[in-house]
Amino acid sequence: EVQLVESGGGLVQPGGSLRLSCAASGFTFSSYWMSWVRQAPGKGLEWVANIKQDGSEKYYVDSVKGRFTISRDNAKNSLYLQMNSLRAEDTAVYYCAREHYGDFPPFDIWGQGTMVTVSS
Amino acid sequence: SYVLTQPPSVSVAPGKTARITCGGNNIGSKSVHWYQQKPGQAPVLVIYYDSDRPSGIPERFSGSNSGNTATLTISRVEAGDEADYYCQVWDSRVGFGGGTKLTVL
């Protein structure tokens, strides 16, 4: 079964750090671009970052540039998001998502999400 | 950044047809993807590249894209279709519409 499972969410104080993980199974992880997408409580979806198959290209939404780092370990079939200098507005459910093949692809597989709460 | 505009809500009676729009400047020149999200669940891809349907998605779901509007059409609406629906495109980066809550009356 094709599956993505996120972990690592929790409660953190403003200015703190957190590292999210996403474990992939059921497909050749190293063949796909991967993304993180977040959803603040009661709000819509917001793309956060993505990473190329070999990790050589990474892109971020402006609001997290310089604070968040996306990475992957293809040997462990895992995707990561290191989040530093967290702010209240980073509070959200964070989903990892697989990008389908092709140009301008859809996100065809999503994890169940992990909740990050930034609060004092 | 590229703006995608969706109506906040759409209501439809069971068995009728629901149409959810996604507006954007010359969106017809872009590829549009649609996701369904039920409360407490992750999004699910229901239409990709404007009108393609992933395996397992009922034929009742269809899509079109032309000019400044992309449309997700759900025929013979069922109670189980009640959910939030999001459109998505790639511009300089990924963009999502604000979402539309579909209510089945």
Q: Are A49 and A61 in contact (CB under 8 A)?
A: yes
List, as ranges, residues 61-120 from A with C-beta within 8 Å of B: 61, 95, 100, 103-108, 110-113
The predicted pLDDT at position B4 comes to 97
Chain B contact for A44 (CB, 8 A cutoff): yes
Residues B56-75: tens digit of each pLDDT:
999 999 999 999 999 999 99
Nearest Cβ partner for B99 among A44, A107, A110 = A44
Chain B contact for A1 (CB, 8 A cutoff): no
Residue-by-residue pLDDT tens, chain A, 120 positions: 999 999 999 999 999 999 999 999 999 999 999 999 999 999 999 999 999 999 999 999 999 999 999 999 999 999 999 999 999 999 999 999 999 988 999 999 999 999 999 999
A106–B43 C-beta distance less than 8 A: no
The predicted pLDDT at position B92 comes to 85
